[in-house]
Amino acid sequence: MVTLKQLAKELNVSISTVSKALNNSDEIGKDTRLRVKALAQSYNYTPNKVALSLKQNKTKTIGVIIPNILNHFLSKVLFGIEREANKHGYTIITCISNESLEKEKEGLQLLGNGSVDGFILSIAEETQTKNEIEHFKATIAQGLPIVMFDRVAHDVQCDKIIVDDFEATFNATKTLIAEQRRHIVFISKIDKISVGKLRERGYNKAVLEQGLEPLVLRIKKGDDAQEKIKQLYKKNPAIDGVVAADSASGVIAINMARNFKRKVPQDISVVGFSSKSVSNHSVPKLTIIRQHAKKIGAKAAEFLIKRIEDGAVPAQNYTTKIIKTTLVKNKSTL
Amino acid sequence: MVTLKQLAKELNVSISTVSKALNNSDEIGKDTRLRVKALAQSYNYTPNKVALSLKQNKTKTIGVIIPNILNHFLSKVLFGIEREANKHGYTIITCISNESLEKEKEGLQLLGNGSVDGFILSIAEETQTKNEIEHFKATIAQGLPIVMFDRVAHDVQCDKIIVDDFEATFNATKTLIAEQRRHIVFISKIDKISVGKLRERGYNKAVLEQGLEPLVLRIKKGDDAQEKIKQLYKKNPAIDGVVAADSASGVIAINMARNFKRKVPQDISVVGFSSKSVSNHSVPKLTIIRQHAKKIGAKAAEFLIKRIEDGAVPAQNYTTKIIKTTLVKNKSTL
DNA sequence: GTGAAAGCGCTAACAA
DNA sequence: TTGTTAGCGCTTTCAC
């Protein structure tokens, strides 16, 4: 990489002249400016980002800590973050907590040393079960803003972007009830995390309101989801509706139903939290609760960048933005 | 963030004393060292990463440029990269090229300004179709090592990690032939990129060797994959085998077959490039060609870090490592 | 219109 | 054993 120093030497001018010329300062004479620019161009000069960061005490970089990049929803949010960040001239540096509290802390620590101007994160499962929030508070106290999305800690003062999980399943369940379904099961692989709990509650409320019996299938890590759902159908032949809290369960529920000679949507109606691409993995296509992951990511980035650039505004006026889900009807419901 | 300066002031010693003490230099007396460390601890001091980077002219950061983070294979590789990088004390900064040449160039440019010590990347579709490689060469010439994975440019001198795409489909097709399948179709959503072409050739060779007729279904962006596959089955009732080049097509091929009252694997045998989690999306589970994405990522990181840390070794001895795929038999084949 | 100098936070060669 | 100084690459104030 060429530096200002080298350019200055070659042009027989001072470093500051070069710097000013490149920054279009009107202190510098036109001809000098042009000469400098020409040479810089020819060397393909670009200012060293690290030096700039040190000097200006800002990195134009956002730290993103997500629990699991193999989760389609989360990687879609990441995509949204990246795109929005880029628009504003920011890059993102990613840590994957792998649902571990320790790795989450490490990420915060590692990037908190001046590497980033702020964080966007979704909380690890372990952090949620242990209910730890001190590391977030410490980071914020250190002057680094945090924006949380999806899985958030309500006791931490910061901007948040969440989904209307409770209402989403409540409404989805009611939709099935309106189809005259009376034996609706709720399937979840995410019963441990906050959003999973909310979704289960939404389902429960809708079912109980109608005097129906709730039936919940929780799939643990390491379980064979197909097998569990098979057993479920076997034991409960009356099932005529499925609400799935995660993207795979809905798809499997549809594909497995046919093994029991049950037609979707005639005999069983299925709806699940998922994305368009995954909804394609079942025939008929899964009716989905869309979470608008990219939008969530974009909003999170927007919020964070605003915080960063509004500078040392006394941290306050924190917003919690709810991105409403949309029910996209495909052919797995009537 | 506390700085050395502040610690020095509070302790009434010089900045360098503090620095040395914290770095366990034996130049510093034991008591001073302890005093310094105690205070640093109490302030939760950690050296500013940016200053360190500037000083040492290395960032301990890897730039990763991937075409599409929503692709399960690619995000899995990213996961592998991140984990391996972390092990070695590196963080990763991600750019998503979105299959665009322009964005790929931008990423290289943006991070090439001192932000990273090297790159790991998989080439964008547009870059492959236009066959542009100058930006890679320029980056390498600039002193930043590149490791390419999966979609690589053979004309660029650098380390590469690839998959045995040709052999994978060749062997998979032969497996189907050994099952006495005589009407095997190849389905691909990725016919434009290098690996997609290799996979198609592997299939072709196996089929032609047996004097069978090749049949290829190419699904374009924006196409309804389900509909295309449905039409395929309708027009070609003799199909008794499917080799899928991408993860979704195999799953859909299985789920759709049942709509034609064709049993998998009895009537149709299906195998596809995919991952364990996606193979679950069909009943029966898809027999998959596993690419060991995480391992690819880990190897790529390992290669790059070695290059970075072996310093200015005259760039040479470039390795191309082939990570062999594994055929994991599930119930969609005999 | 141009240049010298300070300083961002850190390390390390050298001086005391 | 501790401190002074220079320097990584850059911007910016102030002097000429």
A196-229 residue pLDDT tens: 999 999 999 999 999 999 999 999 999 999 999 9
Q: Is the pLDDT of residue B313 over 60?
A: no
Beta strands B287-290 and B326-328, pairing class: antiparallel
**Whole-Å CA distances, B264 to A71, B254, B331:** 28, 7, 8
Contact (CB<8Å) B96/A109? no
Nearest to B334 by CA among B291, B271, B272: B271
User: Coil, helix or strand for A231?
Assistant: helix
Confidence tier at A1 by pLDDT (50, 70, 90): confident
Protein-to-nucleotide distance from the CA of B113 to the C1' of D10, whole angstroms: 13
Phi, psi of B62, rounded to the nearest 5 degrees: -110, 130
pLDDT at A311: 66
Shortest Cα distance, chain B CAs vs residue A92, angstroms: 6
Q: Which residues sit opposite B64 in a β-bridge?
A: B94, B120
User: Can you list the alpha helix ranges (DSSP code H) found in B88-150?
Assistant: 101-112, 125-130, 134-141
Per-residue exposure over B1-26, b if at least 16 CB sit within 10 Å of its own CB, e if not: bbebeebbeebebeeebbbbbbeeee
pLDDT at B166: 98
User: Coil, helix or strand for B140?
Assistant: helix
The number of beta carbons lying within 10 Å of the beta carbon of residue B143 is 12
Contact (CB<8Å) B280/A252? yes
Contact (CB<8Å) A258/B256? no
Residue pLDDT, tens place only, A91-114: 999 999 999 999 999 999 999 999
Residue pLDDT, tens place only, B95-126: 999 999 999 999 999 999 999 999 999 999 99
List of E strands, A236-325: 241-244, 269-273, 287-290, 320-323
Predicted TM-score (pTM) of this structure: 0.95
| Euclidean distance between CA atoms B113 and B57, whole angstroms | 12
| Euclidean distance between CA atoms A276 and B10, whole angstroms | 59
CA B287 centroid distance within chain: 22
Q: What is the mean pLDDT of chain A?
A: 96
Question: Which nucleotide minimizes the distance between its C1' and the CA of A8?
Answer: C3
Arithmetic mean of pLDDT, B296-301: 98
Q: Is the pLDDT of residue B238 over 90?
A: yes
Per-residue exposure over B38-53, b if at least 16 CB sit within 10 Å of its own CB, e if not: ebbeeeebebbbbbbb
Arithmetic mean of pLDDT, B227-236: 97
Q: Is the pLDDT of residue A163 over 70?
A: yes
Shortest Cα distance, chain A CAs vs residue B200, angstroms: 23
Q: Is the pLDDT of residue B153 over 60?
A: yes
Inform me whether the C-beta atom of residue A260 falls under 8 Å from chain B C-beta atoms. Answer: no
Residue pLDDT, tens place only, A274-321: 999 999 999 999 999 999 999 999 999 999 999 999 865 566 789 999
Q: Which residues, 6+ apart, have CB-to-CB distance to A38 below 8 Å?
A: none
Contact (CB<8Å) A248/B285? no
Q: What is the mean pLDDT of chain B?
A: 96
Arithmetic mean of pLDDT, B66-80: 97
Above pLDDT 90, what percent of chain B?
Answer: 96
User: Coil, helix or strand for B152?
Assistant: coil
Q: Is the pLDDT of residue B262 over 60?
A: yes
Q: Which residues, 6+ apart, have CB-to-CB distance to B66 below 8 Å?
A: B74, B77, B78, B94, B95, B96, B97, B121, B122
Angle, helices B49-56/A49-56, rounded to nearest 10 degrees = 140
Calculate ∠ Cα A257-A263-A268, nearest 5°.
Answer: 70
**Whole-Å CA distances, B260 to A279, B84, B255, B256:** 20, 46, 10, 7
Task: Assess contact for B267 and B333: CB atoms under 8 A.
Answer: no
Question: Which nucleotide minimizes the distance between its C1' and the CA of B20?
Answer: C11
pLDDT at B325: 98
Phi, psi of B56, rounded to the nearest 5 degrees: -90, 0
Above pLDDT 70, what percent of chain A?
Answer: 99
Shortest Cα distance, chain A CAs vs residue B72, angstroms: 7
Contact (CB<8Å) A283/B54? no
| Euclidean distance between CA atoms B234 and A192, whole angstroms | 45
A259 chain-B contacts, CB cut-off 8 A: 283
What is residue A278's DSSP assignment? H
Tokens representing residue A51 in the block: 């030096």
Contact (CB<8Å) B69/A82? yes
DSSP string, B10-49: HHTS-HHHHHHHHTT-TTS-HHHHHHHHHHHHHHT----H
Torsional sign, CA B126, B132, B133, B138: negative
Q: Is the pLDDT of residue B312 over 70?
A: no
Q: Which residues, 6+ apart, have CB-to-CB distance to B312 below 8 Å?
A: B143
CB < 8 Å from A in window 222-251 of B: 225-226, 248, 251
- For A8, what's the count of Cα atoms within 13 Å in the CB-facing half-sphere? 12
Q: Is the pLDDT of residue A182 over 60?
A: yes
What is residue A226's DSSP assignment? H
pLDDT at A315: 63
Residue pLDDT, tens place only, A139-155: 999 999 999 999 999 99
Phi, psi of B46, rounded to the nearest 5 degrees: -140, 140
Residue pLDDT, tens place only, A60-101: 999 999 999 999 999 999 999 999 999 999 999 999 999 999
| Euclidean distance between CA atoms A168 and B107, whole angstroms | 38
CB < 8 Å from A in window 169-188 of B: none
Nearest to A229 by CA among A268, A171, A181: A268
Inform me whether the C-beta atom of residue B78 falls under 8 Å from chain A C-beta atoms. Answer: yes
Phi, psi of B229, rounded to the nearest 5 degrees: -70, -35
Radius of gyration in angstroms for the set of CA atoms belonging to chain B, rounded to a whole number: 26
Number of A to B CB contacts under 8 A, please give it.
140
Burial class for B164, CB neighbours closer than 10 Å (0-12, 13-18, 19+): middle
Tokens representing residue A307 in the block: 């915080």
Bases on strand C under 7 Å from any protein CB = 1-5, 7-14
Residue pLDDT, tens place only, B137-148: 999 999 999 999
List of E strands, A137-178: 146-149, 159-163
Contact (CB<8Å) B94/A95? no
Tokens representing residue B261 in the block: 């009252």
Nearest to A179 by CA among A251, A264, A255: A264
A61 chain-B contacts, CB cut-off 8 A: 93
Task: Assess contact for B304 and B158: CB atoms under 8 A.
Answer: no
Minimum-distance residue to C12 (CA–C1') = B16
User: Coil, helix or strand for A65?
Assistant: strand
Beta strands A215-218 and A184-188, pairing class: parallel
Nearest to A76 by CA among A242, A276, A210: A276
Q: Is the pLDDT of residue A263 over 60?
A: yes
Q: Is the pLDDT of residue B311 over 80?
A: no
Residue pLDDT, tens place only, B10-43: 999 999 999 999 999 999 999 999 999 999 999 9
Bases on strand D under 7 Å from any protein CB = 1-5, 7-14
Q: Is the pLDDT of residue B44 over 60?
A: yes
Confidence tier at B1 by pLDDT (50, 70, 90): confident
Tokens representing residue B167 in the block: 């052999």
Shortest Cα distance, chain A CAs vs residue B210, angstroms: 32
Radius of gyration in angstroms for the set of CA atoms belonging to chain A, rounded to a whole number: 26
What is residue A157's DSSP assignment? -
Per-residue exposure over A90-103, b if at least 16 CB sit within 10 Å of its own CB, e if not: bbbbbbbbbbbbeb
pLDDT at B316: 74
B93 chain-A contacts, CB cut-off 8 A: 61, 91-94
Angle, helices B72-87/B293-309, rounded to nearest 10 degrees = 40
User: Which member of B142, B226, B258 has the closest CB to residue A258?
Assistant: B258
Protein-to-nucleotide distance from the CA of B48 to the C1' of D2, whole angstroms: 23
Phi, psi of A24, rounded to the nearest 5 degrees: 60, 35
Tokens representing residue A321 in the block: 């933005």
User: Can you list the alpha helix ranges (DSSP code H) found in B113-267?
Assistant: 125-130, 134-141, 165-178, 194-209, 225-235, 247-257
Arithmetic mean of pLDDT, B82-91: 97
